[in-house]
């Protein structure tokens, strides 16, 4: 599978996916939360044809259908398979020291050994977030790690140490 991500300044991000069956799918995720899903023209592969325009609510609904259950399913499987591995959710409150800062600034893995595997933002889920992804007040971080590590991470994220 080949997923390509391109920044669209002032608009959002475009994802292009060439499926194993050979189809080309384009998804533009707009800054305001809406999305466009496009299929590329056979003759002019640069041009999007057959566009779905989703408003933020509809995009959320599609994301939920495709994404959220699989994500939770994966965590459940993971915790079952690896004894001692726990997952936990940590809210980032508005005004928290990490509000507005990149995720990498939490240094979660260095300090606590825990991995942040997803950011849940309203109804959106950012799976496998990168260090550069910005955290906002109201986000919920999903992390996996040892029980002790998760408790340490909780204290760290709430600014208690």
Partner 1 sequence: MDQVAKLLLELGLLFLGLALLGLVARRLGLSPVPFVLLAAVALGDGGLGAVRTAEPFLAAAAQIGVVLLLLTLGLEFSATELFASFHRHSSSGLVDLVLNAPPGFVAGLLLGLPWQGALALAGITWISSSGIVARLLGDLGRLANRETPAVLAVLVLEDLAMALFLPLLVVALAGKGPGSALAGVGLAVGAVLLVLLAAQRHGHRLGRLLSHRDDEQVLLRLVGLTLLVAGLAQLVGASAGVGAFLVGLALPASFADRARAILAPLRDLFAATFFVAFGLAIDPHAILPALPAALALAAVTTATKVGTGWYAARREGVGVPGRLRAGTALIARGEFSIVIAGLAVAAGIPDIGPVATGYVLVLAVAGPVLTRFVAPLTARFLPAPAPG
Please, which residue, 113 or 121, has the CB nearer to partner 1? 121
Containing H/E element for 12? strand 12-18
Binding site for partner 1 (CB under 8 A): 6-11, 14, 26-28, 30-32, 36, 38, 40, 42-48, 51, 94-95, 99-101, 132, 134, 136
- Residue corresponding to tokens 């939490």: 106
In whole angstroms, the minimum distance from the beta carbon of 100 to partner 1 comes to 3
Please, which residue, 52 or 65, has the CB nearer to partner 1? 52
In whole angstroms, the minimum distance from the beta carbon of 142 to partner 1 comes to 20
- If we measure between CA atoms, which residue out of 152, 146, 154, 142 comes closest to residue 82? 146
Please, which residue, 40 or 90, has the CB nearer to partner 1? 40
Please, which residue, 36 or 60, has the CB nearer to partner 1? 36
In whole angstroms, the minimum distance from the beta carbon of 8 to partner 1 comes to 6
In whole angstroms, the minimum distance from the beta carbon of 156 to partner 1 comes to 18
What one-character-per-residue DSSP string does 31-67 give?
TTS-EEEEEE-SS-TTSEEEEEEE-HHHHHHHHHHHT
Contact 136, 99 (CB under 8 A): yes
Measure the CA–CA gap between 35 and 29, rounded to whole angstroms: 5
């Amino acid at each position: 599978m080949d997923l390509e991500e391109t920044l669209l300044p002032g608009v959002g991000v475009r994802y292009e996916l060439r499926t194993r069956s050979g189809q080309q799918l384009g998804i533009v995720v707009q800054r305001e939360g809406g999305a466009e899903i496009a299929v590329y023209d056979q003759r002019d592969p640069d041009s999007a044809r057959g566009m779905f325009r989703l408003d933020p609510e509809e995009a959320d609904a599609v994301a939920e259908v495709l994404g959220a259950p699989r994500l939770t399913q994966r965590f459940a499987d993971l915790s079952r398979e690896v004894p001692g591995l726990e997952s936990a959710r940590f809210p980032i409150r508005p005004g928290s020291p990490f509000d507005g800062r990149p995720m990498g600034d939490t240094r979660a893995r260095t300090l606590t050994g825990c991995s942040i595997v997803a950011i849940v933002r309203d109804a959106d889920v950012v799976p496998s977030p990168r260090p550069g992804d910005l955290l906002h007040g109201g986000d919920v971080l999903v992390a996996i790690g040892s029980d002790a590590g998760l408790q340490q991470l909780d204290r760290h994220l709430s600014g208690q140490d």
